[in-house]
Homo-oligomer: A and B are copies of this chain.
Amino acid sequence: MSGTRERLVIIGGDATGMSAASQARRLRKPEELEIVAFERGDFASYSACGIPYWVGGDVEDRDDLIARTPREHRERGIDLRTRTEVRRLDVPGKRVLARDLASGEEYWTDYDKLVIATGARPIRPPLPGIDAPGVHGVQTLGDGQALIDALRRTEGRRAVVVGAGYIGVEMAEALIRRGYEVTAVNRGKEPMSTLDPDMGRLVHDAMTGMGIEMVNDAEVTKVLTGDDGRVRAVATDDAEYPADIVVLGLGVRPETTLAEEAGLPIGENGGLLTDLAMRVRGHEDIWAGGDCVEVLDLVSGRERHIALGTHANKHGQVIGSNVGGGYATFPGVVGTAVSKVCDLEIARTGLREKEARAAGLQYVAVTIESTSRAGYYPNAAPMTVKMLAERRTGKLLGVQIVGREGAGKRVDVAAVALTARMTVEQMTALDLGYAPPFSPVWDPVLVAARKAVTAVRAG
């Protein structure tokens, strides 16, 4: 470092890291702030959430998933070093040890300010056969390419998806679209464990209706291989499911190895702990965000780990503002998520029943059926809305929606209401957009709120 020029070092070149870099660059010129970003892979700023749609054929080209190329970042004055892994973090010395994966060369780089954006790693249980050819993860663009190549190459038409959360159901759809017979093997009582089981059952029934074989309550114990060493089946305690291809969709854990070794604070969900400005707690010069941190759940008042691109981007924006001399905070989340499998839309926000109980909350829960448009309008699609409200206070605690076209994004109304800490009674008066092609005269979310009001009064 020369003169007053500071150096910002970023570990991890995806959504959080590169958003932070870009925002910091907007606020401070290269003469004031040098920005060095280390990325283990070949790509920066890509949409991991888009991989299932690439595999399924909805997105044609890998490059469509890349928001900005490494070259574009470099042209904007960010020293992005791809295929470079950070091996050690020396907090007292304010430096990181990087390794050029091509040459094997290792070197220390000093920092004035550090951003940790190491993301998450997919859960991959140490089962017999799990590393056999034909078993695929879907975390990186490389994973996606390997899977697509394998689908083109593989003879046979049977796929097993392990896990039935967001990635699992999206991959089930992708494989169905590729013409595979798909079995989804799932540890939970129902698919989509981010929903209550009664709502998960609706997803189960719809997926079964799409021709996906659903196996719930089943723990995969091993991956069986054939004489050629390739996968041939997935086994649970009870049964075997033949497979030409296996896709793992078991979720992710925060990637915090470096941070842990450096003694940074890790929460009970395995993620780094930050303050509201996304600074690592107790460390003035270190920020962290994205899939490697825990976030405050504004409804339960507790930290959670949620790996989601939209949070990662917001974190990067906040970090970049603060590192660049501005001011921004990330107040927390309410736990909104939306997904689809074929034409079934699945959404949630706030707490489901189990989470409400774990938070010490007493609640009422109601479920209603409604439609996406006025009942008499063409293509009015059915949807089920479940709503939880706190006993006595009537505060909204959570909403789950399962339905067809037009169902999923309705959860946003509840997400804003949760953020504003509204009661279900307040919600019944919400002035939501109404016209027959868009909604029944009582929006489904309002129908649920009205029923919840009655339940709160009774309870």
Contact = CB atoms under 8 A, between A and B. Distances in A.
B433 A53 contact: no
How many copies of this kind of chain does the complex include?
2
Contacts of A65: 376
Contact of A432 (B59, B310, B330, B431): B310
Contact of A412 (B336, B338, B413, B437): B413
B434 A310 contact: yes
A345 B339 CA distance: 23
Nearest to A406: B409
Given A15-B441, A422-B420, A441-B47, A434 B308 contact: yes
B432 A415 contact: yes
B438 A338 contact: yes
A122 to B, nearest CB: 18
Given A376-B64, A416-B420, A349 B313 contact: no
A20 interface: no
Given A50-B376, A59-B377, A377-B58, A340 B434 contact: no
B378 A431 contact: no
A148 interface: no
18 contacts: A15-B441, A49-B435, A50-B376, A59-B376, A59-B378, A313-B441, A314-B428, A314-B429, A337-B433, A339-B435, A347-B433, A406-B409, A412-B413, A412-B443, A415-B430, A415-B433, A416-B432, A417-B420
Interface of A: 15, 47, 49-50, 53, 58-59, 64-65, 166, 308-311, 313-314, 317, 329-331, 333-340, 345, 347, 349, 374, 376-378, 406, 408-413, 415-417, 419-420, 422, 426, 428-439, 441-443, 450
